[in-house]
Amino acid sequence: MTLEMHPQRWGDPVHAEPLPESVRGLVDAFVGTRDTPAVDDVQLPAPGIGDGLVAALRVAIGDDAVLTDDASRRLRTRGKSTPDLLRARNGDLADAPDAVVRPGSPEDVAAVLAWAVEHHVAVVPFGGGTCVTGGLAARRDGYAGLISLDLIRLDRLLSVDKVSMTAVLQPGMRGPAAEAALAEHGLTLGHFPQSFEFASIGGFAATRSSGQSSAGFGRFDDMVVGLRVATPIGELVAGSSPANAAGPDVREMVLGSEGTLGVITEVTVRVRPVAAEKVYEAWSFPTFADGAEAMRALAQSGRLPTVLRLSDETETMVNLASQSDIGGDGVTGCVMILGHEGASVAAKRAEVTGVLESLGGTNLGEERGQAWAAGRFHAPYLRDSMLDAGVLVETLETATFWSNRERLHQAVKSALETSLGEGTLVLCHISHTYETGCSLYFTVAAKQAEDPLPQWLAAKAAASDAMIDSGATITHHHAVGTDHKPWLEREIGPVGVAMLRGLKSAVDPDGVLNPGVLIP
Ligand SMILES: Cc1cc2nc3c(=O)[nH]c(=O)nc-3n(C[C@H](O)[C@H](O)[C@H](O)COP(=O)(O)OP(=O)(O)OC[C@H]3O[C@@H](n4cnc5c(N)ncnc54)[C@H](O)[C@@H]3O)c2cc1C
């Protein structure tokens, strides 16, 4: 697998997925089809940075570490949201960096930041480039240039402490490389977002990512016990103990800071033994509400399995259509996927089974669960096939307390349907479960308008308003970037914004780090 993604599509083109006939039928029925020609040769704007500045940077960290060729710049332009892909498919790469800089050490990162401050150049830290909220599209007005600080060369497992069960990872390691390196020690991180194959350790920390196994392993921010961070005013090293009462936690201030406060150069994470047993299974519940109540019961009785997700009626129908090769046509209601991982899963699985049966669940066996596990990283390829077929498709996510779940679900669904019009498919699943609430993850498919970009931006704004008006968060795990920034103050209030601005001006007084991202 290559680490570079196609500039206009998800992932490695080798793994591109045609639209399955069963899904094509559904999509046709709901939205019709239209061909969208892909643009192969997108022209880049000329680099807006002076040659003298680039030469000074080469002197600071070495010739090979500074790339100004079109291919490198193209591959570091924006992230992988549907608007990012639509812009790239339209030939708009206006946000391309002037140069791609690949530091080989934390000291190199510090040298780049010193150069950026001296010459007032904007710096966009770049991990895997899988961002879906505009966090890689920094503002460049008023700057002498904009560089992408690609951490790909910082890609090693630095140390393992098997007594404390921690490991120190460099930020440029992608998910699979981190898992492979830890597996040599019999360990796992257990962080499997859908973007796992391309996203990086530094990116997980900078966005407070949450994975598909987070019910069992926790969110990425729960896993981080220490950080090393380069800032324009010097280095921050946070996390000298498993827990402390030494004032507000500065480690927490860096987690989720999306490259606006510093560049994460090392991450110390807690690790777990590799699971000896992994079992995935599916259950069905008569309604989404019944399934949600069962999830709440599991969470509140301390019986969460490693993976736990529940599709609503519409998502269940679409998933069943795409799994038509699996038997059991009589499945009705809403399908729940569970994964049990550990040294020995039988006892916990039996407890979970007891709870689900007592709350109206029907066990559908392991085949559907295993099919989910086998295909868990393929869905993003289908998005490209749908965009090719004239379908506007995108995902969004939020979270709320259990008592507000139904209201939030209806409000977001209705906002999307009203904005996108008749024939729109809105699928939803509960993707993460906590004692006090859950996250809702929506997938939307609609017929593309003549210009799908403003069409989607209007629908996204309506859905975002619905989330905030319902008292939920603007994002459970995709982070803020530039896309969610207009809603942040409504969520955290003016005092919250003042606190963020204060932190920013203290550590980045010249504002070179990811300008325009996250902080209102
Ligand atoms: C198809 C698809 C599926 C996804 N599934 C999930 C999912 O299941 N769960 C989930 O949480 N997210 C998911 N995402 C969103 C995305 O993958 C996550 O936000 C991920 O954590 C980003 O990591 P990255 O390495 O790609 O970061 P990038 O996209 O490179 O960067 C993200 C942000 O972090 C900053 N940054 C990156 N590295 C550093 C660093 N070392 N120091 C400081 N700042 C840095 C960047 O400047 C940017 O603002 C998905 C995205 C896609 C496209």
369 CA from centroid of ligand 1 (Å): 26
3-state secondary structure of 82: helix
Which uninterrupted H or E stretch holds 429? strand 425-433
Find where tokens 């919250």 sit: 496
Atom of ligand 1 nearest to the CA of 229: 42
In tens, the pLDDT along 2-54 reads 677 888 888 887 788 777 776 666 666 555 555 554 555 677 899 999 999 99
210 lines ligand 1 (CB under 6 A): yes
In tens, the pLDDT along 476-496 reads 999 999 999 999 999 999 999
Q: What is the mean pLDDT of residues 266-276?
A: 97
411: left (phi over 0), alpha (psi -120 to 50) or beta: alpha
Contact 348, 305 (CB under 8 A): yes
Choose the residue to mutate in 156, 170, 191, 207 for probing ligand 1, maximizing ligand atoms within 8 Å of C-beta: 207
Of the pLDDT bands very low, low, confident and very high (cuts 50, 70, 90), residue 228 is very high
* DSSP string for 172-238: T-BHHHHHHHHHTTTEE-----TTTTT-BHHHHHHHT---TTHHHH--HHHHEEEEEEEETTEEEEE
Of 126, 131, 19, 66, which Cα lies nearest the Cα of 514?
Answer: 126
In tens, the pLDDT along 168-192 reads 999 999 999 999 999 999 999 999 9
151 lines ligand 1 (CB under 6 A): yes
200 lines ligand 1 (CB under 6 A): yes
199 lines ligand 1 (CB under 6 A): yes
In whole angstroms, what is the distance from residue 459 CA to residue 417 CA?
Answer: 8
298 has a pLDDT exceeding 60: yes
482 lines ligand 1 (CB under 6 A): no
Q: In what order do the strands lie in the sheet with 146-150?
A: 66-67, 99-101, 146-150, 122-126
Query: In the numeric block, which tokens belong to residue 320?
Result: 């069943």
Q: What is the mean pLDDT of residues 98-114?
A: 98
The pLDDT score that the predictor gives to residue 404 is 98
Q: Which residues pair with 394 in a beta bridge?
A: 444
Q: What is the mean pLDDT of residues 80-94?
A: 93
In tens, the pLDDT along 117-135 reads 999 999 999 999 999 999 9
203 lines ligand 1 (CB under 6 A): yes
The pLDDT score that the predictor gives to residue 454 is 97
271 has a pLDDT exceeding 90: yes
328 has a pLDDT exceeding 60: no
88 CA from centroid of ligand 1 (Å): 19
In whole angstroms, what is the distance from residue 516 CA to residue 68 CA?
Answer: 23
133 lines ligand 1 (CB under 6 A): no
In tens, the pLDDT along 329-361 reads 678 899 999 999 999 899 999 999 999 999 999
263 lines ligand 1 (CB under 6 A): yes
Query: In the numeric block, which tokens belong to residue 504?
Result: 């920013």
368 lines ligand 1 (CB under 6 A): no
157 lines ligand 1 (CB under 6 A): no
Choose the residue to mutate in 3, 113, 130 for probing ligand 1, maximizing ligand atoms within 8 Å of C-beta: 130
Q: Pick the residue whose CA is nearest to atom 22 on ligand 1.
A: 203
Amino acid at site 150: D
The pLDDT score that the predictor gives to residue 423 is 87
Atom of ligand 1 nearest to the CA of 154: 41
In whole angstroms, what is the distance from residue 189 CA to residue 340 CA?
Answer: 16
In whole angstroms, what is the distance from residue 101 CA to residue 506 CA?
Answer: 25
Share of the chain above pLDDT 70, in %: 95
pTM as predicted = 0.96
90 has a pLDDT exceeding 90: no
Amino acid at site 481: G
The pLDDT score that the predictor gives to residue 20 is 73
The pLDDT score that the predictor gives to residue 40 is 55
Q: If you average pLDDT over every residue of the chain, what do you get? A: 93
Residues 6 or more apart whose CB falls under 8 angstroms from that of 292 comprise: 310, 402, 405, 430, 438
Choose the residue to mutate in 105, 131, 173, 254 for probing ligand 1, maximizing ligand atoms within 8 Å of C-beta: 131
134 lines ligand 1 (CB under 6 A): no
> Cα torsion for 248, 250, 256, 257, to the nearest 10°?
120
Q: Pick the residue whose CA is nearest to atom 14 on ligand 1.
A: 195
208 CA from centroid of ligand 1 (Å): 9
Whole-number Cα distances in Å, 372 to 114, 282, 326, 327, 432? 47, 9, 12, 15, 16
